[in-house]
Amino acid sequence: MAMGKVIAALVLALGASACASVDTASRNAPFDVAPTEMAAPAPSYSLESFDVLVPTTLKVSEANLYYPPGDIVWRGDARGNRYEQVQAIFGESVRLGAYPLDGAMPVRVEIEVTRFHALTEKTRYSIGGIHSIEFVMTIIEPESGTVLRGPKPIKASLVGYGGQTAIQAESRGLTQKYRITQHLARVVRDELTKAEGFVAPERGATKRIQPLEQIGTELAASE
């Protein structure tokens, strides 16, 4: 009997020791996440100013075809200076998307439009299509000129309504201009609030980019 009690006591002791060992190991185990996989903090930006460039090297097409050649195809305004019209759309989109942000770091945003191919009348009132919009966006710390993100090419295409759907949308105020402006505002907001590609400015940084050439009246942040 005495020998049996000794054996039982040893078994219990060993079991308790094993449990304690496992528990200690699990508490002290490192996180199974590589540093590069850990979520980066999102930047805290506020818009100080912005510029929008629509190069006059982009080809404008007024042809009423299903898919006319050209870099700028726009029918949401009366016929006129399409460069200025596209610039105004982007300017309003930046205001809507960025100015409500109240972050700690003031930034300057520079946008260069590389493609703005919306729907022609023929396409809009028949089969519909895609508003193909592309631009390059750069976010800059204005005091030092440090590039915080970019220049980043962005594709911001949007489904364009066609036929009866387009007519019904317009009757509710959902014009091509309204939908594209709201869509671009969301794209700009997303670029200013996501952590991807964020670079914190370094003291004494010297990396700069030249201010963008302006077309028409400068779009000032104070407007």
Summarised one tens digit per residue, pLDDT across range 51-61 is 999 999 999 99
Predicted confidence at residue 41, as pLDDT, reads: 58
Residue type, 36: T
Nearest-5° Cα angle at 51, 45 to 57? 140
Encode 141-166: b = buried (16+ Cβ within 10 Å), e = exposed: beeebbbbbbeeebebebebbbeeeb
Which amino acid would we find at residue 39?
A: A
Name every residue whose Cβ is closer than 8 Å to that of residue 203 and which is 6 or more positions away in sequence.
Answer: none
Instruction: For residue range 75-126, list pLDDT tens digits in order.
Output: 999 999 999 999 999 999 999 999 999 888 999 999 999 999 999 999 988 9
Instruction: Identify the architecture of domain 44-193 in CATH.
Output: 2-Layer Sandwich (3.30)
The rounded distance, in Å, linking the Cα atoms of 136 and 65 is 27
Domain boundaries, the chain: 44-193
Above 70 in pLDDT, residue 39? Answer: no
